Structure 1
Amino acid sequence: MNSYGDQQSARARARVPGPSAASTPDDDQSGYDERPSPDAYRRPAGGRASVGGSAPRGAASVGAAPVGGRASVGAGTGSVGSARVGGRASVGAPPAAAPGYGGRAAVARAAVRPVSPGAGGPGGPGDPDGAGNDKRGSAGKILNKASKRRRRTNILTAAAAVLVILLGAGVVGGTYFFDNVDFKEPTAEAQTTQLLASDNKTVLSSLGQFNRSIVPDGSINPLVKLAVVSAEDKGFYKHNGIDMKGIARAAWNNFTGGDTQGASTITQQYAKYATKRKEITYNVKLREAVIARKMEDEYSKDEILGRYLNSVYFGRGAYGVEAAAKAYFGKSVLTPIGQKNAITAGEAAVLAAVIKQPEPTATHKGYDPQKNMPDALDRWKYTVGNMAELALPAGLPAAKVPAGINPPTEYPKTWKKWDPDKCTTTCGNNKPSAKIVKYVKRELRDMGISDAELNQGGLQIRTTIDPRAQEQAEKAANSQSKKSPLNGMSSTYKSALVAIDPDNGRVIAYYGGPDAASWDYAGPNYTDAGDFVGGGRPPGSTFKIYTLIAALADGYGMDTIWDPTLKKVDGGGKISNSGREGGSLKCKAPKACTLQVSTEQSYNFTFYWLADKLGPEKVIEMAHKAGIQLIGDPETTARWNLNTLTEKQLKEKGYGREVGFGQYAITALDHASGVATIANDGVYHKAHFVRSVSQRDPKTGKFVAVKGTGEKLDPKKAFSPDVAAAVQNVMEKIPGINGISLANGRKAIGKTGTWEFTGKGGKAGDNGDAWMVGGTKEIAASVWVGREKENKKTKQMELLPIYKPGGKPMNGGSIPGEIWKMFLDSASKAIGAENKAFLPNSTAFVDPSKKGNGVEPPPPPPPPANDPQNPLCGIFQQQPCNDNNGGAGNGNGNGNGNGNGGPGNGGPGITLPGVPPNGDTGTNPDGGGGQTDENTDDGN
């Protein structure tokens, strides 16, 4: 037998229906079974009938038999000329007995039913020699005129009623029709594909048009099979696929003006379904009968029943018996009898009973117990009664069904109520997690699973999404969540949050919007055809982490000096630092700011000049190694795939030095991947969403891995552990500087950033994008917040400036930082993450020859050994002496430490033991000053 879904063997033969389903030997080139036909096809032995040719007057001739025309029996000729089934039947007088009527066909039997022997004919009264040579009229001698009229009326009526059947049977048996009804292997049923979370049970999304799960026929609960046979086709194990009584009844009803009906066998029902024909016509019914007959030769009864059970509709949006068992009882038909949660005999009868009419119509409420319990109960009783009568029919071995089944006496109370609005085939598509479908599809293509195969369904895809982390991401980033920092703000505010496991690249949480249909703010957006249409925003200062990595990898140390006063190259203007210039900079001197301080305070000028020294393409290259896949074009809104661009091509694109502090757009997904590489000590794992792909084993029904699929971890060294250690060390300070340290002292790295708003309606100092990225050794996360609304005239989305509650410009350490902290605190707790430490700081990578462009200030003069005006001077060597006479600044020596800058200007003053300093002590002994804002980041 061919497997379900495979192409039919080329050696399959067309066969005339017979009493058994035995196959024709392969060497039977005629393609026909020469066994006697069932009674419905038989006729008395006699002469030879010519099929497809001509016959002498009086001979029985079956000519070409197109379907759909008029069937004409010529008076006195005994010939059936052009037999067109499906039109008007014109019946003449019965033919005289003629030589050659009946007998064996030259190619196949002529299945034309003989006239009654009582009216004269071969072997009947008046035909003493049985050869059919008697003259017509013998029967009339023993019948009176009234009897003749009644007899003739009966004959004409009966002939009209069964003519379609007889001619159809002849056509089925004939070369013209039987061979021209193609039997093709039915296409595999479309099923549901489920995307599951990493726990392998939480449904994130369902794909497919039909809620169906194909299960192997040999594994279906035998009670279900018995119930369906009992309800739909009691003679299923006895007939050869065609119910001749049913066909005759349907033909009679159709001919006499009743409703158009179809036959009743399970095989014919499946044949109708497999041929995808919805109309009921004589032509269609004949073809279904032929296909059903051919199916019976090709498949076993259990295979046919299994196919039927996997295809039939049970209502409640459930196609196939497995989906039905879950919809009505929350059970599986694969659970063996006697085991916990196995389908019972009573429940099996409920499923079988609804098949006849699962949904309400204008004339009947259907047999779903929720909608029509009285009729459902009657139909159930009918089914249960037949189950007891059939007991153990052929095909249901006693090993599978316990002998002496006790029919249930009460309708099961275990059936579940059904919500018609509950999703069945697109489950999860109204949830944020549904946005991962596009990534799953792309990864499956890379594994060799086409979109067509995915749409056909039947797969079970285990994703990387951790349902616990996903829940926390949605609480933190979704403005509809009451706990989100965005809750209560305008609906024009949009957000994105992506979290990745640094140890393997698995995306454990993804939020890019509230549902599948909305724009994805966390990653790239594509059309249905797969064309990129947009995604990503300028990362601002958060991109400096990649510039920093590139610099350290090139040998620059964290103590290199950079000049904040230099203007851009090629006559460019001043490098913006979000209003933090001059004396507000926490630098060693006006022309000397270390890379360490520049990173902590997020000063733009240092990273501009680093990009100048390294070259913009080197910065982008390092970002790519860390995990950035897409980056904005320097001149347009396009995005470039860094997997396909060479260094030469990058250089030709003309990226500016502003890349060093985040001018060009990237996605939150890529940013999370880059941070994960830093947290993983410089080892990159590609961000991915698919862990495994499974499909049902055709024999056991269990899900097994699809060969050649599943995640394939391929760690790559992006940069050295020493570089990673230095970057981790400086990034660990940033959450605390911005007041968003994680709870319970959990160690974390971070970086804030914004990009200025340049659209209409903004004012100086407004921002358009705010970011917070970072994480722990277990979770790396990126958060973005922006704002937009649709222009009613142009129907295009327009960007808007972003503000904190209260009206001040939003920056990375505010709302995005709060979202980031809330998520990492709650997600770390939810998944039981450890509090792992980052690497100890390192300078092993430093090349002493690598210098910045700043001017190192001269070292301060040593303090005098004795100062008569200050007897404590020099005693506490850890504190330098106050210099009230220094240069341009005014120091006061009382612990304020806030000089105005310049050599010798006021230092931090002397701090006596046990006496708190008076004022805000600067970080530099030359009086650089303190913070100017509660969030110090946010250079553009």
Structure 2
Amino acid sequence: MNAYGDPQNARARARVPGPSAASGPDDEDRPAPDAYRRPSGSAAVGSATPGRASVSGAAPVGGRASVGPATPGRASVSGAAPVGGRASVGGAAPVGGRASVGSAAVGSATPGRASVGAAAVGAASIGGRASVPPPGSGGGSGGLGDGGSGKRPRTKADKKYRRANILTAAAAVLVILVGAGIVGGTYFFDDVELPTPKAEAQMNLILNAKGQTLAKTGERRILVPYQEVTKVMADAVAAAEDKNFYHHNGIDMKGIARAAWNNMTGGNQQGASTITQQYARYVADLNEISYSRKLREAVIARKLESKYSKDQIMGLYLNYISLGQGRYGVEAAAQGYFGVSVKKGGSGKFKEINAYQAAAIASIIKQPYATASHPGYAPAANPPVTTIQRWEYTLKNMLEMGSISQEVWDKRVYPKPLPVSSSSTCKTCADGKPVAMILRHIKYELRQLGISEEQEKKGGLTITTTIDPIVQKAAEAAGSRKSEDSPLHGRPKTYQAAVIGLDPSNGEVLGYYGGDDPVGVDYAGYMDGDGKGVQVVGGGQSPASSFKIYTLAAALKANYSFKTIWNGELKRPGGKKISNAGQDPEDTCGGAISHCDLEQSTVKSYNFPFYWIASQLGEDKVIAAAKAAGINYMWTDRTDGHPNGERIDLNNSSESTWKSKFDPEVGMGQYRIVPLDHATGVATIVAQGVRHQTHFIKSLKMVDPTTGKLSTLKTITKEGTRVFDAAQMSDLSGVLQKIPEHAKHTLRNGRDAVAKSGSWELGDGSSSNGDAWFVGGIPQLAATVWVGGKDKRVPLTEASGKKMFGSNTPAEIWKRFIDTVTEKKNWDQEKFPPRTEGGDPSLGNGVAPVVQEQPVQDNSQVCDSVLDFICQNQDNGGNNNGGNDNNPGNNNNPGNNNNPFGDNNTGNNNTGGGGRNNDDDD
């Protein structure tokens, strides 16, 4: 080191008696020696070949320097030189070290070295010339290695260049001094604010209900509190980036001076030096590289050191650094590259990192990614030589720091990293699978819970979903046409299904299938992927008769009985008939269409009672019941103003709006809804009138960056709200339990189930159905199935070519889904509550026929006549007892012909027709 604390360039290094400064790797970045000119009276020394000129003793300005006898290859100049004195030479100096009277000249040949003793500093000219001023001159010069002496006249250019060098050097010194003043002044006057350490972005871990990983989102970063980081990892990083980290005060004044000089002279820009400075630059967003940045960086570094301990600063640094492959922080790197953890004692299935692995990770910091000119230092199966060298450099420093033993160093072997592909392989992960579609619902639900997009991006969330892997697999197997187990397998590619399984006791989504393409249309929820919710345009499907469960809930609430009678011959306003699956009126209700009861109409899915119920109650009452059950959105018919229909948010609109947007056909399921909303409503019916908020997040936890512990955040409540009367729901369930058998899709082992089918015509003059549903469930699982067109509505047919109804393929999917789940999970056969019938039977618009009893014939008067003996014979009994022939109960009971539940009530004959604008069922 010279008097300025900075080693000079190897071309002109001056040695001061005493401890010498060792050269270092930064020498090539040092400025040329001419920038440090000495004032008159000094001895400035260039390089000499092969001899060495030794100048010692105090040389006053203009003084005499005497050169005594010189040993071969060395010129010795000594003694005090008074003002204007001469220099005497005692002995010849070999080539490269000639001294003349009044001066000591050393040629510019390497590798000679000039040692300067206690000499006053003067100015040196280019080439490292050492001069002792001649008498009365105050200065002199020697030749550039030509062995001559004398004085060469300076040109104007020389003088100008000399003045520029002096000014540049003075400016650099001033900047450094001013910079030092800024560091001190700013520190004490607090002009530079200490930024708060950043809350690092990290991964979000999304799990299924069994704790298996579904997905990892966000940056691959896993925060580890500094208290938990193993010492070998921290030492490895210090060894690689800042060997003296635990011993300095946070700043590198040499680095600041170097940056200042290079910035002034246009040299190579320098980056941060200490670990504290690197973190200061990061936390304060000091991205430019300049002396001003270095000074500000130094202030922040000093403040960090005064506020935080070394371990804390190291912990902050370890969690932020980029380590290649998109990994940030040492824990993500340790798990990804080597399948280990930097936590003391390891973490879960990950063992604690060893010294070789730690050194490999620490070595990445210098060059985490490959460039055109550098392969990078990321661990690889066959690492390049440069990676091995960098690793050994780090490991060697660890040895010198005492972090590893000599034995560990001697036995060093570069650690074998995991294959790149294996770090991302996950059998339960959602990547590219149908279950990945639930990530859209997770994002939306996070917003509902108050987790902003920024918070989500910062990561650190552990999201346990409600998805049960058994139920999810069953939903995909039953609904995806790609599955060989699905009833849709081998059917047209234009067909699409949605299968949703909810836990009716708490609203958890156990299984969710909305399509095979996780980035395509969400046919089960029509959820956008931006976290804003259900799409506004083009969402939903017409639920058809499956919507009648809400019409019935509204009717029961209004005290309607399932015994109410309805007239199917009445026409709606305008004279339009109400279609009932296109069947002949003589076949409807067993020929009793004018007086059909509500219970049979529900099982057989006739439309006219539901139209008239909505008309009597008002459309708003039916919609209110649907909203209470769980329907959030409905779409109006397509109009010129709304070619895709207008979405009505039921939670943010009034009943007057509903009445103006919808007509009584809402009672039989004309208007589109979202299958997931419908699944919620179905679950409410299955739960006997208790609604739970449907949700995908079971639990939500966030990593505390200070402690590293998981804190539980608020999630959607699992508490239910009773929205329908329990007795009325038992009445409804009692009727809906008849439908699975009617549809010939009873569940395995005769398990109790409620259900409702529905299908809606394609329209535009087509008699084909475009939507087909089967919904319902068992006490432990509410299941909703929709089948329709992919991308657009298409005619739906069975494999046989017949028209598809809800009680066909959708019912088969529904049955297969529930049967698989109950078998795999070995659920008990729970039953629904006993039915409690109620309501007023007189509220319908039909009239039951009056059944007149036949009078009993009185033969007593005849017996009083001459035929008395015949009566006596009859009274005696026998085979001709008039009771056998005349009992009206045998032949005249009108129940055989007129009872709507009688012999002519054949559901199987009612499956062929289709109403043009209304529901087709069965």
Please confirm whether the aligned pair reaches a TM-score higher than 0.5, indicating the same fold.
yes
CA distance in structure 1 between the partners assigned to 2:246 and 2:86 by the alignment: 42
- 8 Å Cα contact 2:381/2:419 also seen in 1: no
Q: Does 1:607 align with 2:603?
A: no
CA distance in structure 1 between the partners assigned to 2:547 and 2:595 by the alignment: 23
- 8 Å Cα contact 1:628/1:666 also seen in 2: yes
Q: Determine the structure 1 residue equivalent to 2:103.
A: 144
| Of 811, 820, 831, the match for 1:817 | 811
Q: Does 1:191 align with 2:202?
A: yes
Matches within 5 A, 1:252-267: 260-267=269-276
Q: Determine the structure 2 residue equivalent to 1:837.
A: 831
- 8 Å Cα contact 1:737/1:935 also seen in 2: no
- 8 Å Cα contact 2:214/2:429 also seen in 1: yes
Letter paired with 1:193: N
Letter paired with 2:621: K
Q: Determine the structure 2 residue equivalent to 1:725.
A: 730
Q: Does 1:460 align with 2:462?
A: yes
CA distance in structure 1 between the partners assigned to 2:888 and 2:461 by the alignment: 70
Report the 3-state secondary structure (helix = DSSP H, G, I; strand = E; otherwise coil) of the residue aligned with 1:510.
Answer: strand
**Deviation, structure 1 residue 453:** 1.8
| Of 337, 341, 345, the match for 1:336 | 345
Q: Does 1:639 align with 2:647?
A: yes
CA distance in structure 2 between the partners assigned to 1:599 and 1:139 by the alignment: 128
Structure 2, gaps ≥5 residues long: 8-28, 43-54, 66-80, 89-98, 109-113, 115-123, 130-161, 858-873
* Count of residue pairs the alignment pairs up: 773
Deviation string 1:704-737 (CA, Å, 9 cap, x unpaired) is 213xx12323421111111111111111121221
Q: Determine the structure 2 residue equivalent to 1:353.
A: 363
Q: Does 1:736 align with 2:753?
A: no
Matches within 5 A, 1:421-820: 422=424, 428=430, 430-526=432-528, 528=530, 530=532, 532-534=535-537, 535-568=539-572, 570-587=573-590, 589-633=592-636, 636=642, 637-651=645-659, 653-706=660-713, 709-759=714-764, 763=766, 765-789=767-791, 798-820=792-814
Matches within 5 A, 1:149-548: 152=125, 153-154=127-128, 166=173, 169-175=176-182, 179=186, 183-199=194-210, 201-208=211-218, 210-243=219-252, 260-276=269-285, 280-281=289-290, 284-336=293-345, 341-370=351-380, 372-375=382-385, 376-391=387-402, 406=408, 409-411=411-413, 415-419=417-421, 422=424, 428=430, 430-526=432-528, 528=530, 530=532, 532-534=535-537, 535-548=539-552
* Percent of aligned pairs with the same amino acid: 40
**Deviation, structure 1 residue 336:** 2.3
Q: Determine the structure 2 residue equivalent to 1:858.
A: 850
CA distance in structure 2 between the partners assigned to 1:270 and 1:408 by the alignment: 33
Instruction: Describe the shift of the 1:161–1:367 C-alpha distance in structure 2 as closer, same or farther (beyond 3 A).
Output: farther
- 8 Å Cα contact 2:636/2:661 also seen in 1: no
Report the 3-state secondary structure (helix = DSSP H, G, I; strand = E; otherwise coil) of the residue aligned with 2:730.
Answer: helix
Letter paired with 1:680: A
Structure 1, gaps ≥5 residues long: 1-37, 43-84, 99-115, 127-133, 393-401, 790-797, 887-902, 908-921
Deviation string 1:212-241 (CA, Å, 9 cap, x unpaired) is 122211111222112222222222112223
CA distance in structure 1 between the partners assigned to 2:913 and 2:834 by the alignment: 25
CA distance in structure 1 between the partners assigned to 2:64 and 2:381 by the alignment: 60
CA distance in structure 1 between the partners assigned to 2:106 and 2:902 by the alignment: 132
Q: Which moved more, 1:189-198 or 1:371-380?
A: 371-380
CA distance in structure 2 between the partners assigned to 1:408 and 1:486 by the alignment: 65
**Deviation, structure 1 residue 302:** 1.3
Report the 3-state secondary structure (helix = DSSP H, G, I; strand = E; otherwise coil) of the residue aligned with 1:361.
Answer: coil
- 8 Å Cα contact 1:525/1:533 also seen in 2: no
- 8 Å Cα contact 2:443/2:530 also seen in 1: no
Instruction: Describe the shift of the 1:574–1:408 C-alpha distance in structure 2 as closer, same or farther (beyond 3 A).
Output: farther
CA distance in structure 1 between the partners assigned to 2:672 and 2:243 by the alignment: 68
Matches within 5 A, 1:27-106: 40=5, 91=35, 94-95=38-39
Deviation string 1:118-153 (CA, Å, 9 cap, x unpaired) is 99899x999xxxxxxx99999999983424988544
Instruction: Describe the shift of the 1:663–1:350 C-alpha distance in structure 2 as closer, same or farther (beyond 3 A).
Output: same
Letter paired with 2:547: F
Instruction: Describe the shift of the 1:270–1:875 C-alpha distance in structure 2 as closer, same or farther (beyond 3 A).
Output: farther
CA distance in structure 1 between the partners assigned to 2:546 and 2:176 by the alignment: 79
Report the 3-state secondary structure (helix = DSSP H, G, I; strand = E; otherwise coil) of the residue aligned with 1:499.
Answer: strand
- 8 Å Cα contact 2:240/2:397 also seen in 1: yes
Letter paired with 1:553: K
CA distance in structure 2 between the partners assigned to 1:778 and 1:872 by the alignment: 59
Instruction: Describe the shift of the 1:788–1:443 C-alpha distance in structure 2 as closer, same or farther (beyond 3 A).
Output: closer
**Deviation, structure 1 residue 830:** 3.7
Letter paired with 2:811: G
Instruction: Describe the shift of the 1:219–1:344 C-alpha distance in structure 2 as closer, same or farther (beyond 3 A).
Output: same
Instruction: Describe the shift of the 1:174–1:626 C-alpha distance in structure 2 as closer, same or farther (beyond 3 A).
Output: same
Deviation string 1:863-884 (CA, Å, 9 cap, x unpaired) is 9999x9x99998899996467x
CA distance in structure 2 between the partners assigned to 1:669 and 1:679 by the alignment: 15
Instruction: Describe the shift of the 1:255–1:174 C-alpha distance in structure 2 as closer, same or farther (beyond 3 A).
Output: closer
**Deviation, structure 1 residue 668:** 0.9
Matches within 5 A, 1:891-902: none
CA distance in structure 2 between the partners assigned to 1:519 and 1:873 by the alignment: 75
CA distance in structure 2 between the partners assigned to 1:164 and 1:824 by the alignment: 84
Matches within 5 A, 1:8-23: none
Instruction: Describe the shift of the 1:419–1:562 C-alpha distance in structure 2 as closer, same or farther (beyond 3 A).
Output: same
Report the 3-state secondary structure (helix = DSSP H, G, I; strand = E; otherwise coil) of the residue aligned with 2:634.
Answer: strand
**Deviation, structure 1 residue 493:** 2.0
CA distance in structure 2 between the partners assigned to 1:119 and 1:490 by the alignment: 103
CA distance in structure 2 between the partners assigned to 1:822 and 1:471 by the alignment: 12
CA distance in structure 2 between the partners assigned to 1:184 and 1:622 by the alignment: 55
Letter paired with 2:649: N
Report the 3-state secondary structure (helix = DSSP H, G, I; strand = E; otherwise coil) of the residue aligned with 2:327.
Answer: coil
Report the 3-state secondary structure (helix = DSSP H, G, I; strand = E; otherwise coil) of the residue aligned with 1:174.
Answer: helix
Letter paired with 1:851: L
Instruction: Describe the shift of the 1:454–1:405 C-alpha distance in structure 2 as closer, same or farther (beyond 3 A).
Output: farther
**TM-score of the superposition, structure 1-length normalised?**
0.72
CA distance in structure 2 between the partners assigned to 1:139 and 1:227 by the alignment: 60
Letter paired with 2:810: P
Letter paired with 2:574: G
Q: Determine the structure 2 residue equivalent to 1:897.
A: none
- 8 Å Cα contact 2:779/2:831 also seen in 1: yes
CA distance in structure 1 between the partners assigned to 2:597 and 2:245 by the alignment: 87
Structure with the bigger percentage of helix:
2
- 8 Å Cα contact 2:629/2:680 also seen in 1: yes
Instruction: Describe the shift of the 1:591–1:464 C-alpha distance in structure 2 as closer, same or farther (beyond 3 A).
Output: same
CA distance in structure 2 between the partners assigned to 1:775 and 1:404 by the alignment: 70
Instruction: Describe the shift of the 1:925–1:752 C-alpha distance in structure 2 as closer, same or farther (beyond 3 A).
Output: closer
Structure of greater Rg: 2
**Deviation, structure 1 residue 564:** 1.4
